[in-house]
């Protein structure tokens, strides 16, 4: 099955006409394979990803930044567990961005993320990111008050100014060899309700439950507006958004794995070629090692 074609449907590279409501959270593109078969497909995809990661690491030129955003219980942790588990941990780092610390709040909103960017050859995964500063901070305005900004800078234009900052930041990263891929895990309000209930019912999941999640449900519409505006204003060819239908976990995993695989393929990664004098040197070492038996 050609998943590459499917992925195209979910990739947003320009703002024009983007509407979140055009994307059905329960979409599976007509696939009805379920979790078990999806896991086999993901395993195939992971082998491919792992092979490309080795080249990324050896080549040490490109970096890959994967940003995961979504409402609570949309499956961000699950994507990290199921899609990224095959990667070599040596070349991969996950950062979860939670409530900002006092030190974070002493700096501009991109600062804490900038300190966690992946180095060349590495994959960085952001579980939430600086996008929270145009999402939760926009919806819960009291959070903006805690950011210690000079009062004259807090105007109606603040969100569009932040979008400008994000676009410039991501363009800068792209021009310096970091491939930025952004995923919005889109679940329906009803599916979230089911998952929150499951958290309450299942002792091993209870620790994940937070009253904030219930409060945020009341602001669902405003979150969706904030997501739509953020995606509309920050979807670019160099740092695309993927709107991932996430009501079916297996489909979300497949989509994310395929999107990352496709994007890495386009980098045309290769192992560095050893040539000329360096190759001659290796031949000498090989002869010496062979003779030393």
CB of 58 to ligand ADP, least distance (A): 33
Buried b (16+ CB within 10 A) or exposed e, 268-288: ebeeeeeeeeeeeeeeeeeee
CB of 125 to ligand ADP, least distance (A): 13
CA atoms in the 13 A half-sphere facing the CB of 217: 16
Nearer to ligand ADP, 195 or 232 (CB): 195
CB of 185 to ligand ADP, least distance (A): 11
- As a whole number of angstroms, the distance between CA 270 and CA 285 comes to 24
CB of 210 to ligand ADP, least distance (A): 5
- Bridge-based pairing of strands 241-245 and 11-12 is antiparallel
Nearer to ligand ADP, 72 or 191 (CB): 72
- As a whole number of angstroms, the distance between CA 114 and CA 116 comes to 5
CB of 115 to ligand ADP, least distance (A): 14
Here the tokens at position 34 are 């379920």
CB of 160 to ligand ADP, least distance (A): 18
Residue at shortest CB range from ligand ADP: 132
Nearer to ligand ADP, 48 or 217 (CB): 217
Nearer to ligand ADP, 59 or 165 (CB): 165
CB of 227 to ligand ADP, least distance (A): 12
Q: Which residues bind ligand ADP (CB under 6 A)?
A: 72, 96-100, 127-128, 132-133, 136-137, 143, 210, 212
Nearer to ligand ADP, 137 or 239 (CB): 137
Nearer to ligand ADP, 96 or 214 (CB): 96
- As a whole number of angstroms, the distance between CA 205 and CA 188 comes to 20
Q: Taking the CB of residue 191, how many other CB atoms lie within 10 A of it?
A: 20
């Amino acid at each position: 099955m050609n998943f590459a074609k499917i992925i195209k449907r979910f990739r947003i590279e320009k703002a024009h006409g983007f509407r979140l409501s055009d994307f059905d959270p329960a979409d599976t593109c007509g696939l009805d394979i379920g979790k078990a078969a999806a896991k086999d497909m993901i395993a195939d995809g992971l082998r491919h990803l792992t092979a490309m990661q080795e080249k990324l690491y050896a080549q040490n030129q490109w970096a890959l930044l994967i940003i995961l955003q979504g409402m609570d219980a949309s499956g961000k942790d699950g994507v990290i567990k199921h899609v990224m588990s095959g990667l070599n941990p040596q070349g991969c780092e996950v950062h979860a961005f939670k409530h900002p610390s006092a030190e974070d709040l002493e700096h501009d909103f991109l600062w804490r993320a900038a300190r966690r960017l992946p180095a060349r050859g590495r994959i960085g995964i952001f579980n939430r990111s600086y996008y929270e500063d145009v999402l939760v901070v926009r919806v819960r305005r009291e959070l903006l008050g805690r950011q210690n900004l000079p009062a004259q800078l807090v105007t109606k234009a603040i969100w569009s100014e932040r979008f400008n900052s994000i676009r410039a930041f991501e363009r800068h990263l792209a021009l310096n060899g970091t491939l930025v891929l952004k995923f919005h895990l889109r679940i329906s309000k009803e599916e979230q309700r089911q998952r929150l209930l499951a958290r309450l019912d299942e002792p091993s999941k209870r620790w994940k439950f937070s009253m904030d999640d219930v409060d945020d449900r009341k602001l669902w519409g405003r979150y969706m507006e904030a997501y739509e505006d953020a995606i509309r204003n920050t979807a670019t060819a160099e740092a695309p958004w993927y709107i991932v239908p996430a009501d079916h976990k297996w489909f979300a995993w497949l989509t994310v794995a395929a999107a990352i695989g496709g994007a890495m393929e386009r980098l045309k990664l290769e192992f560095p070629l050893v040539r000329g004098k360096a190759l001659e040197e290796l031949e000498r070492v090989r002869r010496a090692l062979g003779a030393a038996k």
